[in-house]
């Protein structure tokens, strides 16, 4: 009897032309570390009386399809997650190609994602997947991954795959060692760690349907927040927080001229932090920052991915 193992699981992704309708071809094999993407349907206890102490059969409630996917931040595949978060990029250049993703789009593309467990066999197709949130952390060491939070329209289970033979991408990962944080174009020193979270504020359209699926997931007000933890060596960030002026924060990774990722928050506001002395060790300060739409460029953030992929 075959038993499912995560080591044999696969994930294939393709963007939909029509929301909730998985395409027949064009799937890409996506690297991932783990996923909670799935559908659940809870049961409601019967409230009826007069039938004795033993309860009556429960009633099925609404279906919820969503979850998270933890993916590597790499040179090629990560562009698909950026497209899901921001929309299609503007691509320029020949070799390498520069893909520029911008915040502020009124509509977001939907994806069809199949999670395969071939031993069972179980092939779960999640149609109408829309990116609700994309987040990651920067540190000195460890594996560099991002967490994509998705809202799907529904789940369909089959015994065979619906993706054909997905196209495999080249895997070239960025690492924490390749990262740098810049403030107003200058490397920001004494940074211990950083967190970045971009949220689309999706609104589930939960209409009455006989299939239990949602009608869609519309983007609401976007939000870009995060945290930077720094060793307290000067008062530059504290002074900016007190003055209430914005700065530009840039989070970048580079593997050379043909492989880089730069995420820029154009207008970042810092809160005035509490400076604590926990003991004899070094003093650190935490800034839970918030980004807003800048005057120039007239958007909140930009992600630029440089690689050799023709387009997303």
Strand, helix or coil for residue 232: coil
Do 256 and 236 contact (CB within 8 A), yes or no?
no
Is 236 or 114 the better-scoring residue by pLDDT? 114
Average pLDDT over residues 173-182: 95
> What are the pLDDT digits (tens) for 289-302?
999 999 999 999 99
pLDDT bracket for residue 24 (50, 70, 90): very high
Torsion on CA atoms 138, 260, 97, 224, rounded to nearest 10: 20
Is 211 or 166 the better-scoring residue by pLDDT? 166
Average pLDDT over residues 120-125: 95
Average pLDDT over residues 70-79: 98
Helix ranges restricted to H, 72-175? 78-86
> What are the pLDDT digits (tens) for 223-249?
999 999 999 888 889 999 999 999 999
Strand spans (E) along 235-294: 247-254, 260-269, 284-291
pLDDT bracket for residue 4 (50, 70, 90): confident
> What are the pLDDT digits (tens) for 249-277?
999 999 999 999 999 999 999 999 988 88
pLDDT of 282 higher than 90: no
pLDDT of residue 102: 98
User: Could you tell me the two tokens for 250?
Assistant: 């840039």
User: Could you tell me the two tokens for 25?
Assistant: 């071809």
pLDDT of residue 258: 93
The two beta strands, 301-307 and 97-102, are antiparallel
pLDDT of 278 higher than 90: no
pLDDT of residue 281: 87
pLDDT of 69 higher than 90: yes
> What are the pLDDT digits (tens) for 130-165?
999 999 999 999 999 999 999 999 999 999 999 999
Do 81 and 150 contact (CB within 8 A), yes or no?
no
Element (DSSP H or E) covering residue 237:
helix 236-243
pLDDT bracket for residue 1 (50, 70, 90): low
Longest dimension (CA), the chain: 75
pLDDT of residue 210: 85
Global pTM value: 0.94
What is the 3 state secondary structure string of 208-223?
A: CCCCCCCCEEECCCCE
């Amino acid at each position: 009897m075959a038993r499912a193992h995560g080591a044999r699981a696969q994930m294939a992704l393709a963007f939909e032309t029509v929301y909730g309708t998985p395409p027949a071809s064009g799937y890409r094999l996506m690297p991932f570390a783990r996923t909670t993407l799935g559908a659940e349907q809870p049961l409601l206890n019967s409230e009826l009386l007069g039938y004795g102490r033993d309860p009556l059969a429960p009633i099925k409630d609404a279906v919820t399809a969503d979850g998270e996917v933890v993916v590597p931040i790499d040179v090629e595949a990560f562009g698909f997650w950026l497209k899901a978060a921001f929309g299609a990029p503007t691509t320029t250049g020949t070799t390498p190609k520069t893909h520029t993703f911008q915040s502020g789009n009124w509509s977001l593309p939907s994806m069809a994602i199949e999670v395969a467990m071939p031993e069972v066999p179980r092939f779960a197709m999640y149609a109408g997947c829309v990116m609700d949130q994309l987040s990651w952390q920067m540190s000195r060491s460890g594996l560099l991954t991002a967490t994509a939070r998705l809202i799907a329209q529904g789940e369909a289970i089959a015994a065979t795959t619906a993706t054909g033979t997905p196209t495999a991408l080249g895997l070239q990962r960025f690492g924490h060692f390749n990262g740098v944080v810049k403030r107003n174009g200058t490397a920001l020193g004494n940074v211990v760690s950083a967190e970045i979270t971009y949220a689309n504020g999706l609104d589930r359209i939960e209409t009455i349907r006989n299939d239990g699926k949602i009608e869609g997931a519309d983007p609401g007000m976007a939000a870009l927040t995060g945290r930077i933890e720094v060793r307290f060596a000067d008062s530059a960030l504290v002074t900016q927080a007190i003055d209430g002026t914005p700065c530009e924060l840039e989070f970048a990774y580079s593997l050379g001229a043909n492989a880089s990722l730069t995420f820029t928050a154009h207008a970042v506001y810092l809160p005035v932090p509490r400076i604590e002395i926990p003991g004899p060790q070094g003093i650190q300060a935490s800034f839970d920052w918030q980004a807003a739409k800048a005057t120039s460029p007239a958007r909140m953030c930009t992600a630029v991915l440089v690689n050799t992929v023709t387009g997303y």
